[in-house]
Structure 1
């Protein structure tokens, strides 16, 4: 039996709320890492920081890393100190915008 459109709309609203909560948790997690790395004290253009984050994400994807939802889900090579600092700073900036 097909769902009525009103039921589908309700489900969409619930999913949007879940998405917002998940994004907030992710932003807070990344922001905490950024602050621990000392990026809260570094001034950098947001566009440049975004580009650095995309580069870091690409390196992890190239290694076959996938989101597992686990903290120690697999062995991942440690990023360089400068990459960690750049990544953490962007997260700190975005964490407050969620």
Structure 2
């Protein structure tokens, strides 16, 4: 039995609502992590930041896992923005 177009539209609207809610949860999660890492205090062009995020996403996609194989040392807020070689 075929669905009438009105039912399909209702289903699409419901799914769009679910998608928006899921994207909001994901954005809030990533945002909290970025702030903990000190990214909120760094002045960086959004295009450059997007490139870094894309590289990071590719790194994790390529590993076939969403979890790291080794646990890194904890990073204190602000520590991630120090230039290398500086203590």
* TM beyond 0.5: yes
Cα distance in 2, alignment partners of residues 26 and 51 from structure 1: 19
What stretches of structure 1 move > 6 A for 4+ residues in a row? none
- Report the alpha carbon displacement of residue 32 of structure 1 after superposing the two structures with TM: 0.5
Q: Which structure has the greater CA radius of gyration?
A: 2
Give the TM-score normalised by structure 1.
0.68
What is the total number of aligned residue pairs between the two structures? Answer: 74
Deviation digits for residues 36-68 of structure 1, max 9, x if unmatched?
Answer: 1111100100011111110000000110025xx
Trace 1:1-98 onto structure 2 (pairs within 5 A).
1-65=1-65, 75-77=67-69
Runs of 5+ unmatched residues, structure 1? 67-74, 87-98
CA RMSD, Structure 1 to Structure 2 (Å): 2.0
